[in-house]
Structure 1
């Protein structure tokens, strides 16, 4: 219990109230973003058939969507700090739906790259990070559980969407299915409308009048909202590097496991059900991890390392389990991977306020997503390239699983990783506090000089 209190020091939130409504909004948001993204394996096979392109070329579609989501997260943080976050998130929902609708009319891969990848990814980026930040800022004691509940929809939607998308593709073709998905994504507008704008202090809104032209002052203000100096802090930089390694391999099963299952000789629906079943244990993993983490028996950082290492191991074992043609073995490893992947997601976001403090959480999440965007762009195409070179997905999953394990080793280099208690979260000092500190130091110097004279 004492450790739980230490963990929340410097990372306080009101712990509930309207926050539970935001948890519900995060639940729907994650369903419509990552639930759809995780079910893209159904469309992957259809795109390969229709456009007659390599697995690597088709993989860029989903990778661009993930990378755009993460790349534009700092933009979302800046816009939400500078303007009404509710409006920013609602615009993001519109762009996400529009991108999928335009993708339904694609005539070439470039069209899919720009619409389904960049445009929808931009919309997802404008709503995802602010929504997660809003939920975490609304809780202290139950923060990890709240995040876990909000993210458990990813597993539920993965379970429902894979067979549903397969049915939609058979009934309406991939174009009709994407058009329906675009309409579903417009519900993100309603999720963004539930976020209440937070009051900013006058200190945060001040711009130095001597800073020059209005354009320069505006640029300075935007940079201050982004907090790029976080990259100079070793704990945040190390954590971002570890998350980047994890991100390279984490999403590969969601993009290529269905295709691998079909290649292993299983039917379309049995292949789709592999990911659906993993979605069920994903839900259990998120809720169980959130509940257990909030008990405070272990540090969140240690739990994140454990789940990361296990997730990487099970990614490596996924193609190995189907070598004998056993559907049960493939299903068992998929269930274990789903549980660990879900448990990991509940923890990794909750660690951020412990590293940077809750007052810099939105900016930190934006920068973290930006750094991860390059890794997200690499994962699926690298997996597709290895499949094209080897003819199967054995090397693809082996390489993908090694990256989360590398991320675990990187987490171990964080300062104080092997201690039993979390270090106190750093606090952002306002300009007013800095000025008072400087004034106090000057007064001490003056008093010493007068005393010496």
Structure 2
């Protein structure tokens, strides 16, 4: 396959669209959250945790992506996951209780599996322009935050939350023709050497040892024995998952709790998307003046300070400015993590590195969805939960510093 070719840029559009769908769907649910909570007559934390479980399930299942693409092509994986996610959103639109909603959200989580697939194939298409490609497809996330909240609010006013989910399911269905643009052959099966060898079968313990080695290699558990991978990828991904998910799911409700209208709250969230979009478009310029570590340190501290300031200020102008800054910091950290995953893993392990990155993100997402929501239901305020999000943001800088020292 010719890398950095015209076809590579076409595939990049598919990857960007997939990122747009995934984050856009989560952000749409955050706008719909108050209406869903009221319609199902349940607690905020139950709906918020269900949305977070969607993220966590999708990323956890994505850990098997590397094995799945040896059996099926990326084209089949993307098309199948898009179809399942579409069905899940339709189920959500017909939900009459929390259990039906959770089931639909779990199916919708296959959008996250799709994301792991498309992120993992980027090194197959790009070499010289890899960092540029990461910056471009990361713009899909920013574009979703920039457009989905307001669009969801407008549709919500006309069709209600059930009709809105049906429309979103129609958009997600477009991932099927987009997936058809990917290559049809099975991916990178030849990059892996057979685990069993003649020496391992020469004694009784050989087969058992080979099974253990096969298990570790299939799931990429050996990556967690690398100090650099843990401190520069896995732990920062945990932080990003916890902070970003709390912001994505509860930011609208948080701003509404400051006596703002739902439309004003969605505008604040859109400001965050603007900041994220701006920094990701110009990420290549930041790489010219700052190193990877400097960018991560700056993003971590900025996320912490801006999250704290969100709990202090109540004016919409101030909240919009802070949201822009926070979105920019998230944009930097999210982009640098994918670049770091490639740097701190072998080329043949890229799918596994992305899968572990996303798994960390997903596990932290579940925790964030539950903790942030339950604290609000217990205290009636987002102040404590958002301060916890702020404290978590600083862990990225601590982890990177620990890795540098030791």
Q: Is the structural similarity TM-score above 0.5?
A: yes
Moved more, 305-314 or 21-30: 305-314
Structure 1 Cα separation of the partners of residues 224 and 71 of structure 2:
21
Q: Which residue of 2 aligns with 1:319?
A: 311
Do the aligned residues in 2 keep the contact of 1:155 with 1:279 (CA within 8 Å)? yes
Q: Which residue of 1 aligns with 2:204?
A: none
Q: Which residue of 2 aligns with 1:127?
A: 114
The Cα of 1:416 is off from its aligned counterpart by 7.0
1:154 aligned onto 2:154: no
SS class of match (2:403): coil
Structure 1 Cα separation of the partners of residues 237 and 190 of structure 2:
34
Superposed, 1:75-90 pairs within 5 Å as 75-90=64-79
Structure 2 Cα separation of the partners of residues 38 and 328 of structure 1:
21
Structure 2 Cα separation of the partners of residues 222 and 119 of structure 1:
26
Runs of 4+ in 1 over 4 A off after TM superposition: 209-212, 215-223
Structure 2 Cα separation of the partners of residues 107 and 289 of structure 1:
44
The Cα of 1:175 is off from its aligned counterpart by 0.9
Structure 1 Cα separation of the partners of residues 130 and 119 of structure 2:
11
Q: Paired residue for 1:226, among 203, 213, 219? A: 219
Distance of aligned partners of 1:130 and 1:291 in 2 relative to their CA distance in 1, 3 Å threshold: farther
TM-score with structure 1 setting the length: 0.81
Distance of aligned partners of 1:200 and 1:252 in 2 relative to their CA distance in 1, 3 Å threshold: closer
Q: Which residue of 1 aligns with 2:171?
A: 184
The Cα of 1:352 is off from its aligned counterpart by 0.7
Describe the superposition over 1:132-163 as per-residue Cα deviations: whole angstroms up to 9, x where unpaired.
12124432333222111112122222222112
Do the aligned residues in 2 keep the contact of 1:39 with 1:254 (CA within 8 Å)? no
Distance of aligned partners of 1:220 and 1:309 in 2 relative to their CA distance in 1, 3 Å threshold: same
1:40 aligned onto 2:29: yes
Do the aligned residues in 1 keep the contact of 2:245 with 2:369 (CA within 8 Å)? yes
Structure 2 Cα separation of the partners of residues 203 and 398 of structure 1:
45
Do the aligned residues in 2 keep the contact of 1:74 with 1:363 (CA within 8 Å)? yes
Q: Paired residue for 2:266, among 269, 272, 292? A: 272
SS class of match (2:50): helix
Do the aligned residues in 2 keep the contact of 1:148 with 1:345 (CA within 8 Å)? no
Superposed, 1:10-21 pairs within 5 Å as 14-21=3-10
Do the aligned residues in 2 keep the contact of 1:60 with 1:113 (CA within 8 Å)? no
Q: Which residue of 2 aligns with 1:306?
A: 298
Describe the superposition over 1:6-58 as per-residue Cα deviations: whole angstroms up to 9, x where unpaired.
xxxxxxx9344422112111111111111221232211111121122222112
Do the aligned residues in 2 keep the contact of 1:248 with 1:378 (CA within 8 Å)? yes
The Cα of 1:87 is off from its aligned counterpart by 0.9
Distance of aligned partners of 1:221 and 1:189 in 2 relative to their CA distance in 1, 3 Å threshold: farther
Q: Which residue of 2 aligns with 1:61?
A: 50
Distance of aligned partners of 1:305 and 1:170 in 2 relative to their CA distance in 1, 3 Å threshold: same
Structure 2 Cα separation of the partners of residues 157 and 279 of structure 1:
7
Distance of aligned partners of 1:166 and 1:401 in 2 relative to their CA distance in 1, 3 Å threshold: same
Q: Which residue of 2 aligns with 1:91?
A: 80
How many pairs were matched up? Answer: 396
Q: Which residue of 1 aligns with 2:192?
A: 204
Runs of at least 5 residues in structure 2 that lack an aligned partner in the other structure: 202-206
The Cα of 1:202 is off from its aligned counterpart by 4.4
TM-score with structure 2 setting the length: 0.90
Q: Which residue of 2 aligns with 1:235?
A: 228
Describe the superposition over 1:52-95 as per-residue Cα deviations: whole angstroms up to 9, x where unpaired.
22221121121011111211111122201343222112111111
1:292 aligned onto 2:286: yes
Q: Paired residue for 1:329, among 288, 311, 318? A: 318
Structure 2 Cα separation of the partners of residues 159 and 241 of structure 1:
27
Structure 2 Cα separation of the partners of residues 291 and 72 of structure 1:
35
Structure 2 Cα separation of the partners of residues 255 and 91 of structure 1:
26
